[in-house]
Amino acid sequence: MSAQHARPRHPLVVVALATCLYGCAVAQPTATGPVSTAPAPSVSAASATPTPTQTPTPTPTPARTATLVMNGDLLWHNTVYWSAQSEAKRTGKGIDGFDFDPMFADLKPVISGADVAICQEEVPFAPKGGPYQGYPVFAAPPQIAAWIGSMGYDACTTDSNHSIDQGFTGLVRTATFLDQAGVKHVGTFTSPEERAKPVIVTTGAGVKVGIVGGTYSLNGLVLPKDKQWAVSFWDAPNLLAQAHAARQAGADIVVVQMHGGNEYQVKPTAEQEQLAKALTASPDVDLVFGEHVHVVQPITKVNGKWVVYGMGNLVAQQLETQPRTYEGITVRFTFTSAGSGFSVSKAEYIPTLITHGDPIRVYSVVSSLAAGKGPTARLQQARTAVATSVNLLGKADGLIEA
């Protein structure tokens, strides 16, 4: 034993030991307990010093990642869903007479392969069976909601200038169809309680992604006086309050969508730039992405955070005199954390091209060119035009075309 644990022997023990020296075979217990016959260990200076406690080496926290994918407007002109109806007749597949899969086949691996995929559902849904309406006051087939879920989207921003094309009833109907498809809706709300609850998508690895959105306008339509909470607008205090609520609710990553800008204009407006600056200045916001203008706008960094000002259309059939509306981008951001918050470790954009007419196809430009698939000259033109738009503002070091 060490010196610090040695105790003085009791006098009775000394007597017992002396007796044993003269022939005692077994030591007898005393009032203090049994006595060992083993020789006492010698005490050295080394053994008198306690062995220091070894502090275990902490196990490094493994890095966690989450890949987010967002793309441009799903703008359901009547010719788009007519094409899907024609496709269903040709293939005998689809959902209740609409087959959108061939239209978006190039993009499905990108969408389904993301940890979190976010679409922009630009317009409300009609009741089952219609009537369906196209531009300027939309009511799209509700079968689209089920298709959105089948593509692998986790959430859709539903705040837009068309959010109440079918009134509050249409807003609720759109939310309900998306909910039934397992897709969260962002930026429109069916009740004050729903608005107060942040939208958070949790990845398979447990990363929590908060999504916030707001629109600039409702095209002159007016919400009922008792339902002013039903649509989120893009003023900074509102969006920042929602981002903070998402962070407080446990979101590891918070992304904010802003729906606005001048249609068909590649350069962001001063209002877009001011809003992006205000949003990215907040520690509650990790990334900002934009919709609405129907053409590709720049990707850049503001306050050290990525901002995607506009992703164009993912699908639409606008005037052919506006060829840029047939171009878009899908963006993919990989967030990584080593235990002290998440930041973007990889930023990518995927140029896309929509064809005109029936059948409509949405091509992934780079992979289609590599495979010799699709209208080669137009794909090359789109690739160049998109790259010019994306890099218009600079400050996009590390951005990868995919």
pLDDT by residue (tens digit) across 46-67? 444 455 566 666 655 678 999 9
Q: What percent of the chain has pLDDT over 90?
A: 84
pLDDT value of position 53: 60
pLDDT value of position 16: 32
Cα–Cα distance for residue pair 115/98, rounded to 1 Å: 27
Structure tokens at 133: 């309406």
Give the model's confidence band at 339: pLDDT under 50 very low, under 70 low, under 90 confident, else very high: confident
pLDDT value of position 59: 59
pLDDT value of position 172: 98
**Residue environment code for 354-387, b if the CB has 16+ CB neighbours within 10 A, otherwise e:** bbeeeebbbbbbeebbeeeebeeebbeebbebbb
State mean pLDDT over 384-389.
98
Q: Is 169 left (phi over 0), alpha (psi -120 to 50) or beta?
A: alpha
Residue 354 half-sphere exposure, CB side, CA atoms within 13 Å? 32
Strand, coil or helix: 267 = coil
CATH class as words, domain 64-401: alpha beta
State mean pLDDT over 198-220.
98
Cα–Cα distance for residue pair 391/298, rounded to 1 Å: 6
**Every domain of the chain and the residues it spans:** 1-46, 64-401
pLDDT by residue (tens digit) across 64-123? 999 999 999 999 999 999 999 999 999 999 999 999 999 999 999 999 999 999 999 999
Do residues 95 and 103 lie in contact, with contact meaning Cβ atoms separated by under 8 Å? no
pLDDT value of position 58: 62
Cα–Cα distance for residue pair 109/112, rounded to 1 Å: 5
State mean pLDDT over 303-320.
98
State mean pLDDT over 207-236.
98
pLDDT value of position 295: 98
Give the model's confidence band at 331: pLDDT under 50 very low, under 70 low, under 90 confident, else very high: very high
Asked whether residue 36 carries a pLDDT value surpassing 80, the answer given is: no
User: Closest Cα partner for 104 from 346, 270, 313, 276?
Assistant: 313
Cα–Cα distance for residue pair 63/87, rounded to 1 Å: 44
Query: pLDDT averaged over the chain?
Result: 89
